[in-house]
Structure 1
Amino acid sequence: MKRILQTLTSVCQASALVLALGFGMAANASEGGFPLDAAPDRVSNNASLQNGAKLFVNYCLNCHAASSMRYNRLRDIGLTDQQIKDNLILNDAKVGDLMTISMTPKEGKAFFGKNPPDLSVEARARGTDWLYTYFRTFYKDDTTQTGWNNLVYPNVGMPHVLWQLQGERAA
């Protein structure tokens, strides 16, 4: 479970770094042939992981569940139950509850063309380097339904929810 938490928070902490980092890509090859950047390794930095948890809850957990994770696993990065309740649980969930969302799969399909994937599964399946690069390679594309596109996952149905942190980019 800690690995999932580290992966999720590492991915989300990367969103805070996108302002400082450009489109420069590392030479690692992805499955689709797009070169992947190496995600920053900050899994032993609790302050960074806590910031990542905050970013995840505020930007990702609205559409994407992390149903293999419970809020109480945030204790692993130094948070108290009270801090979790006050800052990271934004609904009526309890600290021991799974990180689920209220949007149904049917609603997800209607809104985005398909149900947004569970990020606790996606983080394990794709890995941090893929997710890190994915978040950094959105660009403005007025020909798509969301107005955004992605170099790693072309024609993705997800809008660029982190654009205010990263800024607008052209292809």
Structure 2
Amino acid sequence: MTGTDRPLLFLDVDGPLIPFGAPPPGGYPTYRSPYGSGTATGGNPLVARVDPALGPRLLSLPCEPVWATTWLADANHCVAPWLGLTQLPVVDWPVEEEDEPGGVHWKTRTLVAWAAGRPFAWVDDEITEADRRWVAAHSPARTLLHRVDPQRGLTKEDFTALDTWLRTT
């Protein structure tokens, strides 16, 4: 498969990569990145919560990763080097970030339009059944809307689910 044949992987940062919410006993772990300058976080201390081991796991997935986050280009400046990733495409969001009627997330319509008919998986901590219904009705391609527990971030089980779906597309 070429890059344009591969499914897209829309990736949020807060929740899937940076765990947040009520911390586990002892607090959230922090990491030191083995990539680039090691401890550089682009000035954002929350990046130290991102497990650098997620980078190789993301790269092993048969897809084209795309930042789908309010971090916008900052994801390429802070998070990508921390994970050992190259610069990724970034979804540019509409000015208004308000959920649509029926509980559809404000990102949903933009992601379907950005995919332009390509299969995609969307990893976020705010996905609901309303989003799944809307995407099923409006995307001509196969899709996977995968909700991640924001207190845990991406887990081995999440990667297994993504890899399985991506390899059957």
> Relative CO higher for 1 or 2, CA cutoff 8 Å, sep ≥ 6?
2
- Using the size of structure 1 for normalisation, the TM-score is 0.32
- Using the size of structure 2 for normalisation, the TM-score is 0.32
Structure richer in helix, relative to its length: 1
